[in-house]
Amino acid sequence: MFDLYVNIKKRREDLKMSQAKLAELSGYADKTMISKIENGNVDLSQSKIVAIAKALKTTPRALMGWDDTLPDYSNIRPVTSRSFPVLGSVSCGEPILMTEERSVQVDSTDDVHADFVLIARGDSMTGARIHDGDVVFIRKQDTVDNGQIAVVAIDDEATLKRFYKYDDLIVLRAENPAYPDIEIRPGDGKEVHVLGLAIKFQGDVR
């Protein structure tokens, strides 16, 4: 493990990065942690080695001294945390009431051009790999192409489905054969509005 601490310090200094900045990029609230790590006073978990490697734009293997050199993988971006407003929970089955709740910090390694997030509930969209509890990133827009996954409000409730619109019919289709289509026609007396397009989701590894 000694090589790891030496390589962390060497890589940080090569990048002219401060210890405080590396602590921030690696997810440490204590800005003095990098000093302790570089002095060999902290046992690092595998996940922290990965986080530090990403912050230093290299690989865990290189930091561990298993490579002859420390390559500069400039295309590897550090994990960042962004705050998105949570509009509420959205049902993947029967529509449910959505209410404004809170904001959530979401780890992201790329730029997510979303306006808000929703927490998926239910199992009707598992065919699209969206599971109960997943965070779904939504871009606000009032129209989507047929077949795209959208958040759709039906009166005061909302659901996450594949959206199809025809001349006299709107079809909301699940990604689970156990759930029938929701069909809405002009004479049904229901107000239907597209709230936004699902552009990304984030959940636990399964």
Domains of the chain: 2-63 (1.10.260.40), 82-202 (2.10.109.10)
- pLDDT at 45 (0 to 100): 76
Whether 26 is catalytic is: no
- pLDDT at 107 (0 to 100): 53
Q: Which of 54, 12, 15, 3 is nearest to 34 (CA)?
A: 12
pLDDT tens, position by position, 34-53: 998 888 888 777 778 888 98
Residue 95 scores a pLDDT above 50 = no
Residue in this structure with the two tokens 């026609």, named with its chain if needed: 185
Per the confidence metrics, is the pTM higher than 0.75? no
| Given 16, 161, 165, 200, the catalytic residue | 161
| Given 21, 35, 124, 165, the catalytic residue | 124
pLDDT tens, position by position, 98-148: 444 444 555 554 556 788 788 888 888 989 988 888 888 888 898 999 999
